[in-house]
Amino acid sequence: MSDGYTDDGEEEVWAAEQSPGFLLWHLENLWQREQRRALDPFGITTVQFLLLSGLAVSAAGETVSQIALAGRCRTDPMMTSQVVRTLAQMGLLERSRDKIDKRAFAVRLTDKGRDLQSRTEAAVRTIENRFFAALGSDVPAFANALRVLGGERPRQRVQASSRTTS
């Protein structure tokens, strides 16, 4: 990052539209628009897709607590609860009291939910591949950079360039 000065000591003019934060915000808006386009034909939102996908990694018939689902999907527990209720009304998942903790709810995908999640995942993967195609083989490095910015450890090690001495 720049310290705000050019090489000759002059103060740089800061252009908000060129800042990493603005570029990330702009990219997020483009990405959200593409996701909505992919999901609109199926009648679900991005958050609904995210929660269905979070449940889809569970074995068929397996229940997951709402709080565990929120953690898995990195969503707010209260918002997760509201969206889960909507998905249950749509017949995409079943929501019941947890057998052990009667204050908590357990959720599982219905067959209809599993089918819809599978079809929507294919649509989202298609737009994701198209959206990030310009990065080519740098997609994993980009994803790792996003993980680092989000406070996570990268999933892949970055190969250090070798030093050669002359």
How confident is residue 1, by pLDDT bands cut at 50, 70 and 90? low
Q: Are 107 and 94 in contact (CB under 8 A)?
A: yes
Give the least confident one: 35-44, 96-105, 136-145: 96-105
How does residue 79 score in pLDDT terms, banded at 50, 70 and 90?
A: very high
Query: What pTM does this model have?
Result: 0.79
- pLDDT given at position 42: 97
Tokens representing residue 37 in the block: 């386009």
The architecture (CATH level 2) of 19-124 comes to: Orthogonal Bundle (1.10)
Contact 53, 121 (CB under 8 A): yes
Q: What is the mean pLDDT of the chain?
A: 87
Which has more pLDDT, 40 or 166? 40
Tell me what the mean pLDDT of segment 72-86 comes to.
95
Q: What is the pLDDT of residue 61?
A: 72
Please report how many Cα atoms fall inside a 13 Å half-sphere around the Cα of residue 43, on the Cβ side.
7
Mean pLDDT of 99-121: 92
Position 161 pLDDT exceeds 60:
no
**What Rg value do the Cα atoms of the chain yield, rounded?**
21
**pLDDT category, 34, cuts 50, 70, 90?**
very high
d(CA 147, CA 140): 10
